[in-house]
Structure 1
Amino acid sequence: MTRVLIVGAGPAGIRAAETLVAAGLHPVVVDEAARAGGQIYRRPPVGFSRAPEKLYGSEAPKARALHDTFDALVAEDRITHLPERSVMALRDGVAHVLGAARERVCYDRLIVATGATDRLAPVPGWQVGGVYSLGAAQIALKAQGIALGRKIALAGSGPLLTLLATQLIAAGANVAAVLDTAPMRAQIVGGLQMALARPFVTLRGLRLRAALGRLYHAAVTLERIDSGGSGPTAIHWCDGSGTSRHTDCDMVGLGWHLRADSTVPDLAGASFAWNETFDQWLPETDQLGRAKHGLYLAGDGLRILGADGAELAGQAAAIACLQDLGLPHRNPDPILRKLARMQRFAAGMSRAFPWPGEALQSLPDTATICRCEGISAGDLRATLPLSGAEANRAKSLARVGMGRCQGRYCQLAGAEILAAASGRQPKQVGRLRAQPPARPAGIGAWLTEATEDAE
């Protein structure tokens, strides 16, 4: 039987597995979490007391449906689930997987649904402990039921900024301010485009925003984060009129929507192109997510369309796989029409909540860009005489992107800085190439033999 490996058990991976099982296949699903659901529908540990309605809000029915679908596939032995494992490398139809031990998973077809990570923009002072990504704060709330501070300031732009603020408030946390860098005019124009594509989703977002009241501030310019011996003490910002203000806090959450996690697609041999809508490098595929022979991509790791779009993309990628195998499959046209609507919504969202490229280009030389390695904007600019504004050369000279995150958090900001300093566009700077291992791992993990192939 054809061996199909699915990497990721979020909405895209779950629907891909379900579609393959319906056609008579038995896929292997590798996921880094202990329980399926992905980041958006992340599940807490067994015995956790908070109800799904508290964790997922209005999306609780969708979360339950996905969880139940996947759990049933596992219980009926229709898929092989390998949780708490990461795909570290790919070669010649073998995935090198690391969890409690090393494993080799052979495959004939590969569906990658690795989702997305926070897209971060450096702010002077952000390198101190107590400054988190919005996603990290949401993980702590969902998986552990805790807020990461007693007085919280959230800053950035995009739907997660508003969503997390309302989730924290509903859980009893003290949110001091919600600082959105997106201009209100951009939000209105982009919001109209979003409403034409998905009116009910847009209305739900507006209701969440309205519930924040005076905590929410638009058109903000972030200046710096002050800190003391135990973490942040205040965040300084200018409002839309240019008035300098500050918010006392002991925790700061930052995030500018999402960045596709394309490490595994890169290792698998996918091609990439700069996407003007999302202001980042994204894999190239056909409409169904077919990247090349035997490789299919789905979810936010391909196009950042949210949980609903990820479910559709997972089905589409599985259908492409079934087409290539000559197996029965459903007509993909209705799925593609829905995905087109999701893409129009995403384009409006990108317009409403733009990436703060200009702010990054003017960061002072003293501002830290790479938190992992402690590299400043000045260190990066100093590489230009030798790097020629090429991302991988600048990485080798300044070490930006060589730390634990492997460029996931600093790559896009670094490209903005190099581009501005050299009179180029960020896409002309290029992207950092992925290389194994896909995740940091202790050297001891590679000193033992891998277990037998998982079937």
Structure 2
Amino acid sequence: MIRAFDLCVVGGGPAGIAASVMAVRQGLSVVLLDERPNAGGQIYRGLEQGPFRNSAALGADYRQGEDAIARLRAAEVTTCFGASLWRIDMTETGGEVSYSHDGKSQRLAFTDLLLANGAIERPVPFEGWTMPGVMGIGAAQLLLKTSAIVPTGRIALAGNGPLMLLFASQLLRLGVEITAILDTSPGKIGIAAAFAHLPGLLRNLDKVSKGLRLMRDISRAGIPVHRNVSSLSASGHGCVDAVRFEADGAEHHLEVDTLLVHEGIIPNTQLPRALGCAHVWDDGQKCLRPQIDRFGESSISHVYIVGDGAAINGAIAAPASAEIAVGRILQRIGRHDERSLATVRRASTVLARERAFRPFLDALYPPRVSVASPSDQTIICRCEEVSGGKLRSAIQDGAIGPSQAKAFTRCGMGACQGRVCGPIVSQLIATETDRPIGEIGTYTVRFPLKPVTVFDMARCGRDEELTEGHEHAD
């Protein structure tokens, strides 16, 4: 027998937690699925059982997740962490989700679906980015949060954005020395563009102050900072040992043991694209994002997309967007009251303030290396080892879209199913064919999203034992 819920929430980060708690408080039955072992999402990863759960070493922002996780654990939310979701089937009145948990495939039904599956780190391709010793700052931070693993030796951070500044500050607080920071932001041009969004800046002076504190930490540590960096490449024998780059028009060579790279995050669109939700190109954030209305509802009825999975607005905006979506669901079914309306009003105020600040950040920290045309030697698809030269040859042979490029080169057919190379392929095709990237589109995503056997698919939901593994948060 398949268990049914009023609301299925996918993602246990700030947005998913806020949606689940609010919905249960208003009397809805809620199930929350997340592939991670604990609540918190990427931003609060490891806060429940990680090495820094009782430490202030990662800063006050990290500890802010404690209250949200505590509210989830106190609510009557049915949670399933460690769940690998591989299929969702929608109907006019709801849908069913299929997933694996503890080695068993399971299925549950729902009336409304709320996707809060967050963002992924923007891929930054350059020669040598697949070498051992080169990784994303976001990935390095997850290793820190979950296992207290930090890089050693000569460490360089390359890229731009708030996360790079935050991670540098966290490393410094832990006593880790940083050899250099290679800042790819456009310098004075970016600052001028950012200050064109002064009203949003003035509404968020606390964020400006926080950013200045992070920059002060870096300055006080005496870390060499190279500005206006471009033309990044890494080299080495077996693993990275050097990085080359241009800064203010001059070429530089730096010996390193670890190169950590970051140029922002983008919405994780795999699941909504597999469902067939409409997407649009966001030119401000240089990424594909789901098309949603002001309540977060997608082009498919009963499917809501919130948090950074809808648009990059940060950890404060994410729960606000989720509460607005739940408020809409409650209004539709006639379950809203003064308490839920007050929650939505407060959330709308918060979301408007956070969104006002985002254009400033987008102008100050635009992607640079990640949107530059990669060389022929640069690996585009890490899984299938497809180079920029091979992809260009396919484009010349008629692969004018990502699907054709996949058929010609196997690009995007590896284990990650195009999660990493998808944005790179679309960008390169747009450049080579001189077309707007919004017209290029991206890979077609199909279920199942995760590896699953035909046997498990066939018996999914038939065995009563498959409903085990769900627990009420307590």
TM-score range, shorter chain: over 0.9
Q: Please tell me the residue identity of whatever aligns with 1:375.
A: V
- Residue 149 of structure 2 is matched in structure 1 by 146
Gaps of 5+ in 1: none
- Residue 134 of structure 1 is matched in structure 2 by 137
Q: How many residues align?
A: 447
Q: Report if the CA contact (8 A) 1:120-1:409 is conserved.
A: yes
Q: Report if the CA contact (8 A) 2:230-2:368 is conserved.
A: no
Query: Aligned to 1:404, which of 403, 411, 415?
Result: 415
TM-score (norm 1): 0.92
Q: Report if the CA contact (8 A) 1:156-1:256 is conserved.
A: yes
- 1:52 Cα deviation from its structure 2 partner: 4.1
Query: Aligned to 2:88, which of 82, 90, 95?
Result: 90
Measure, in 1, the Cα distance between the counterparts of 2:215 and 2:448. Answer: 40
Query: Aligned to 2:216, which of 204, 210, 216?
Result: 210
- Residue 279 of structure 1 is matched in structure 2 by 286
- Residue 250 of structure 2 is matched in structure 1 by 243
- Residue 312 of structure 1 is matched in structure 2 by 320
Measure, in 1, the Cα distance between the counterparts of 2:14 and 2:426. Answer: 31
- 1:386 Cα deviation from its structure 2 partner: 4.2
- Residue 434 of structure 1 is matched in structure 2 by 445
Instruction: Kindly indicate whether residue 234 of structure 2 is the aligned counterpart of residue 225 of structure 1.
Output: yes
Q: Report if the CA contact (8 A) 1:360-1:413 is conserved.
A: no
Q: Report if the CA contact (8 A) 1:153-1:177 is conserved.
A: yes
Q: Please tell me the residue identity of whatever aligns with 2:107.
A: R
Measure, in 2, the Cα distance between the counterparts of 1:70 and 1:447. Answer: 33
Q: Report if the CA contact (8 A) 2:231-2:369 is conserved.
A: no
Cα shift readout 1:361-403 (whole Å, capped 9, x = no counterpart): 2x22111111111111111111124444212211221222222
Measure, in 2, the Cα distance between the counterparts of 1:439 and 1:135. Answer: 22
- 1:216 Cα deviation from its structure 2 partner: 2.8
- Residue 81 of structure 1 is matched in structure 2 by 79
Q: Report SS of the residue matched to 2:98.
A: strand
Matches within 5 A, 1:27-426: 27-43=30-46, 46=49, 48=51, 51-55=54-58, 57-73=59-75, 78-92=76-90, 93-100=95-102, 101-192=104-195, 193=197, 195-213=201-219, 214-229=223-238, 231-240=239-248, 242-291=249-298, 292-328=300-336, 329-331=340-342, 332-356=344-368, 360-361=372-373, 363-426=374-437
Measure, in 2, the Cα distance between the counterparts of 1:96 and 1:200. Answer: 43
The 3 A distance-change label for structure 1 pair 44 and 413 is same
TM-score (norm 2): 0.89
- 1:359 Cα deviation from its structure 2 partner: 5.7
- 1:437 Cα deviation from its structure 2 partner: 2.2
Segment drifting more, 115-124 vs 92-101 = 92-101
- 1:268 Cα deviation from its structure 2 partner: 2.9
- Residue 22 of structure 1 is matched in structure 2 by 25
Q: Report SS of the residue matched to 2:375.
A: coil
Q: Please tell me the residue identity of whatever aligns with 2:295.
A: L
- 1:191 Cα deviation from its structure 2 partner: 4.5
The 3 A distance-change label for structure 1 pair 46 and 423 is closer
Cα shift readout 1:286-329 (whole Å, capped 9, x = no counterpart): 11101132111111000111100111111111112212222113
The 3 A distance-change label for structure 1 pair 440 and 187 is farther
- 1:264 Cα deviation from its structure 2 partner: 1.5
The 3 A distance-change label for structure 1 pair 233 and 272 is same
* Percent of residue pairs bearing the same amino acid type: 29
The 3 A distance-change label for structure 1 pair 104 and 284 is same
The 3 A distance-change label for structure 1 pair 218 and 445 is farther
Measure, in 2, the Cα distance between the counterparts of 1:47 and 1:160. Answer: 20
Q: Report if the CA contact (8 A) 1:155-1:179 is conserved.
A: yes
Q: Please tell me the residue identity of whatever aligns with 1:225.
A: A
